[in-house]
Structure 1
Amino acid sequence: MRRILVVGSAGAGKTTLAREIARRLDLPVIHLDGHYWRPGWTPPDETEWRESVARLVARPAWVMDGNYGGSLDLRLPRADLLVFCDLPRLLCLRRVLRRRWAHRAARGTVPRPDLPAGCPERVDFEFLRYVWRYPRRSRPRLLAAVASSVPALPVVRLRTTAEVRRFVDTLPTAPPGPSVR
């Protein structure tokens, strides 16, 4: 496994899991949020975004976290494994709110490492609604995209925090030596 795609609802633990997979397998990690958003939470031009994703997936090895359904057609064919963090929506909502308050308590001085400069942690009604609706709206689209474009792609679907822990425990720890980073 040299190219692993980690997807799931906001608050499902994609970023944390991607970092741990990358650490254990000694692979570079790519947080798509950091490549997508411009200061002030401004999205990029669609053509520019797709060109950026094409460059990222062309790399020989990566652990990539993020949804961005409009670029799945570029990412899925290059992935060796899809890890789907499919945790319960209430847990995801709780984590999103906890993360927001943790960064607010730090008065914005400790930005999330996966977010670009000029994009402070935020939670609004639309974002909470997205998290709530993820199981009914986004999950079916994701699974359909996998089934239609890359049906042979191995998928690990993690539905509980215990399953996430067990999955991580199955990963080898990278031996000392040259890194692919």
Structure 2
Amino acid sequence: MRKVNVIGTSGTGKTTFAIALAERLGYPVIHMDALFWKAGWTESADEEFFAKLEQVLSCDRWVLDGNYSRSQSVKWKDVDTIIWLDFSFTRTFMQALKRAIGRIWSREELWPGTGNRESLRLLFSRHSIILWTLRMYPKNKKRYANIMTDPQYEHIKFVRLKSPSECRIFIDSVRAG
């Protein structure tokens, strides 16, 4: 396991898991959201985003945190392992809600240098992470299940973790690279 992509619907804990796995392996962790989002909640154009992604993925070992399906050709070019955090809808939704409320309360900047923070206005807008989770959960579940059995990805090892306890067991079983 040298090049790992952690995927899952918003709220599953991809970032927390990716950080723990990267620390265990001694690899750098790369957060796709930090590469994608610019100040003022401005999205990067695909050309710019893909160039950033290619640059950070050029090293020998990494743990990549994030989905962005349109970037699959870039991020999965050399990936050897994909870890899908496939928690229940209830757990995923509640974690997304708890995280959003916590970030609203703390005024935490999401990606350094962007000034982007969650807010009540954002929470109740069409860009809401809660609405995103509600809409994407069933789509991601179906899409990721199909990807795991797609012959074009048979060279990739897929790991499907369905609970926080499975995540802890997996992290504990990993040996530093």
Q: Same fold (TM over 0.5)?
A: yes
Instruction: Name the SS of the counterpart of 2:38 in structure 1.
Output: coil
Partner of 2:162: 159
Please give the alpha-carbon distance, in whole angstroms, between the structure 2 residues aligned to 1:129 and 1:90.
14
Residue matched to 2:23: 23
Count residues with an aligned counterpart.
171
Q: Which residue is equivalent to 1:121?
A: 118
**In the alignment, what sits opposite 2:109?**
111
State which drifts further: 3-12 or 149-158.
149-158
**Compared with structure 1, are the counterparts of its residues 58 and 100 closer, same or farther at alpha carbon in structure 2 (3 Å cutoff)?**
same
Q: What's the counterpart of residue 140 of structure 1? A: 142
The one-letter amino acid paired with 2:109 is: P
In 2, Cα distance between the equivalents of 1:94 and 1:81?
Answer: 27
1:85–1:25: structure 2 CA closer, same or farther, 3 Å change rule? same
| Alpha-carbon separation, structure 1, partners of 2:112 and 2:161 | 24
- Which range is displaced more, 33-42 or 88-97? 88-97
Per-residue CA shift, 1:4-36, capped at 9, x if unaligned?
Answer: 110001110100000000100000000110010
What is the distance in 2 between the residues matched to 1:102 and 1:115? 18
- The residue aligned with 1:150 is 153
TM-aligned CA distance change 1:125 to 1:91, over 3 Å: farther
The alignment yields a C-alpha RMSD, in angstroms, of 2.1
| Residues 37 and 114, structure 2, Cα contact 8 Å, conserved in 1 | no
* Maintained 8 Å contact 2:80/2:155: no
- For normalisation by structure 1, the TM-score amounts to 0.84
* SS of equivalent to 2:103: helix
Would the aligned equivalents of 1:37 and 1:116 in 2 still touch at CA under 8 Å? no
Change (3 A) 1:116 1:152: farther
- 2:11: which partner in 1? 11
How far apart in 2 are the matches of 1:64 and 1:159? 19
Asked if structure 1 preserves the Cα contact closer than 8 Å seen for 2:104 and 2:117, the reply is: no
**Structure 2 unmatched runs, 5+:** none
Report Cα offsets for 1:19-78 as digits up to 9, x if no partner. Answer: 000100000000110010011211111211122222222221110001100001211231
What is the aligned-residue identity percentage?
A: 27
